[in-house]
Amino acid sequence: MRFLALLLLLCTLTSCSMAPDSYLSVQPHAGSGGQTEPADAVIVQDYDGLKRAILGFVESGQTEGAIRAANYDGNVEDDLIQAAYEVAKQEPLGAYAVDYMTHDCTLIVNYYEIHIRITFRRSVYEIQSIETIPTQTQLRKRMEEAVDQLETRVALRLPSYREPDIPAMVTAYCAANPGTVMETPQVSVSVYPDSGSVRIVEVNLAYTQTPQALRAMQKAVKESLDAAAEYIRYRQSDRDKAELLYTYLTERFSYEAGSTATPLYAALCGGVADPRGLTQAWQLICDRAGVECYTVEGLRSGEPYSWNIVSLDGVYRHLDLARCVLEYGQLTFRTDRDMEEYYWNMEQYPACEPLPETPDGLPAEEQPAEEQPAEEPETEEGQP
């Protein structure tokens, strides 16, 4: 018994093991001066590779990244400063998405270990939703789609940037499609970076109404236009259609002057006599009824204004529907010479000329109908 206790004490002092040899584990000693490379570090050997690595972190929305520069061709520390600056300030995606970027560089025996930390001002979703639009035609179509879908933000990469007038594109499309576009949005454009042939353009479209409200307005306007066109379709002459259409509009509402962001809806469904809305309404209903009509963009008393020129069975006349419902109380047509306070490009629209005067001095269109002589009653043969 005393021998066994002595044997155990001896084994403990000499680090001996009683376990079988197959269970013996030997680990190499790790010196305190060594560091290991992160498993996901990007390996680079020159400036272009370094810059691509940093840009890759931005493209993936990665807030931290590790780079290992081994057998590097150049000055790593100087190149790191330059590459980080170019990615954050001069590359389109960096200028668009990065708020600020920090970095550090440590020499580990024969390579450099670089750590990049990025603070973004855009989400990963916003970065990944950037669309590449190669041509001006595609840009115009994309903005038209954004208006139709009531999008509030679009981010586009333009490989051949030529300072497009995006607000004008949107305004023109809205003006050409008043029956489906209820509100022309306010458009703001930001471009990243400030120079270069390749840039990212962020377009924000602001509406006064929610998408749900605008879609409801669109539906109500369509129903009103359909009803108005049906209401006048059985009249034969253009003048008769015009008079009945005026009755249709004025019997629905007692119009009041006003200006709204949704002029067509206000004119057809709200009783607001916004000149643009009433002009659009008249144009759209005439189009459906087969009556030749034009929307005139001009000036009245020096201010932007719109009205219609309508064909009345081959005779063109100006129609300021807003003044008809607010001032005259009746449907009033005018010739060119009656439009003293208005200005428009006369070459773009049909001339509204007065008809030739008759011998009594009245224009032919204002002549009262001739009275037909009363027919003599028939008498039987032989009677006086």
| Higher-scoring residue by pLDDT: 271, 40 | 271
Whether the predicted pLDDT of 32 surpasses 60 = no
Domain boundary among 207, 230, 252: 207
For position 41, what pLDDT does the model report? 87
- Report how far apart, in Å, the C-alpha atoms of 265 and of each of 116, 151, 252, 260, 321 are: 54, 20, 14, 9, 16
For position 10, what pLDDT does the model report? 40
CATH of the domain at 69: 3.30.1370
- Average pLDDT over all residues of the chain: 85
Report the pLDDT averaged over residues 218-231: 94
For position 359, what pLDDT does the model report? 54
Tokens of 37: 């490379």
Q: 229 and 244 share a domain?
A: yes
Whether the predicted pLDDT of 25 surpasses 70 = no
- As a whole number of angstroms, the distance between CA 319 and CA 316 comes to 10
Q: 223 and 299 share a domain?
A: yes
355 pLDDT tier (thresholds 50, 70, 90): confident
For position 326, what pLDDT does the model report? 95
Q: 350 and 239 share a domain?
A: yes
Whether the predicted pLDDT of 140 surpasses 60 = yes
3-state secondary structure the chain: CHHHHHHHHHHHHCCCCCCCHHHCCCCCCCCCCCCCCCCCCEEECCHHHHHHHHHHHHHCCCCEEEEEEECCCCCHHHHHHHHHHHHHHHCHHHHHHEEEEEEEEEEECCEEEEEEEEEECCCHHHHHCCEECCCHHHHHHHHHHHHHCCCCEEEEEECCCCCCCHHHHHHHHHHHCCCCCCCCCEEEEEEECCCCCCEEEEEEEECCCCHHHHHHHHHHHHHHHHHHHHHHCCCCCHHHHHHHHHHHHHHHCCCEECCCCCHHHHHHHCCEECHHHHHHHHHHHHHHHCCCEEEEEEEECCEEEEEEEEEECCEEEEECHHHHHHHHCCCCCECHHHCCCEECCHHHCCCCCCCCECCCCCEHHHCCCCCCCCCCCCCCCCCC
Q: Domain total for the chain?
A: 3
- As a whole number of angstroms, the distance between CA 295 and CA 306 comes to 7
Q: 228 and 314 share a domain?
A: yes
Share of the chain above pLDDT 90, in %: 76
- Tokens 């040899």 found at: 21
Whether the predicted pLDDT of 27 surpasses 50 = no
Report the pLDDT averaged over residues 362-367: 49
Report the pLDDT averaged over residues 186-214: 96
Residue pair 63/51 in contact (Cβ under 8 Å)? The answer is no
Whether the predicted pLDDT of 367 surpasses 90 = no
Residue 383 belongs to some domain of the structure = no
379 pLDDT tier (thresholds 50, 70, 90): very low
Domain boundary among 164, 182, 207: 207
pTM of structure: 0.76
Domain boundary among 121, 152, 172: 121
For position 357, what pLDDT does the model report? 60
Residue 12 belongs to some domain of the structure = no
- As a whole number of angstroms, the distance between CA 184 and CA 164 comes to 19
Q: Which domain holds residue 170?
A: 130-207
Q: What are phi and psi of 190, to 5 degrees?
A: -120, 140
Residue pair 52/116 in contact (Cβ under 8 Å)? The answer is no
Q: pLDDT tens digits, residue range 252-275? A: 888 999 999 999 999 999 999 999
Helix axes 275-289, 238-252, angle to 10 degrees: 130
Q: Which of 333, 336, 365, 338 is nearest to 353 (CA)?
A: 336
Q: 291 and 181 share a domain?
A: no
Report the pLDDT averaged over residues 109-134: 95
233 pLDDT tier (thresholds 50, 70, 90): confident
Residue 367 belongs to some domain of the structure = no
For position 377, what pLDDT does the model report? 43
34 pLDDT tier (thresholds 50, 70, 90): very low
- As a whole number of angstroms, the distance between CA 262 and CA 320 comes to 19
Residue 96 belongs to some domain of the structure = yes
Q: 86 and 147 share a domain?
A: no
Report the pLDDT averaged over residues 102-131: 94
CATH of the domain at 303: 3.10.620
Q: 219 and 344 share a domain?
A: yes
User: For strand 293-300 and strand 342-343, is the pairing parallel, antiparallel, or unpaired?
Assistant: antiparallel
Residue 19 belongs to some domain of the structure = no
Residue 15 belongs to some domain of the structure = no
Asked which of 10-19, 205-214, 324-333 is least confident by mean pLDDT, the reply is: 10-19
Q: 281 and 258 share a domain?
A: yes
Q: 198 and 310 share a domain?
A: no
Q: What are phi and psi of 345, to 5 degrees?
A: -80, 100
Q: 223 and 340 share a domain?
A: yes
Residue 24 belongs to some domain of the structure = no
For position 152, what pLDDT does the model report? 96
Residue 378 belongs to some domain of the structure = no
CA dihedral sign, ordered 130, 132, 135, 140: negative
Residue pair 156/203 in contact (Cβ under 8 Å)? The answer is yes
Q: 274 and 228 share a domain?
A: yes
User: For strand 272-273 and strand 293-300, is the pairing parallel, antiparallel, or unpaired?
Assistant: unpaired
Report the pLDDT averaged over residues 74-81: 94
For residue 297, give the amino acid letter.
Answer: E
Q: 197 and 259 share a domain?
A: no
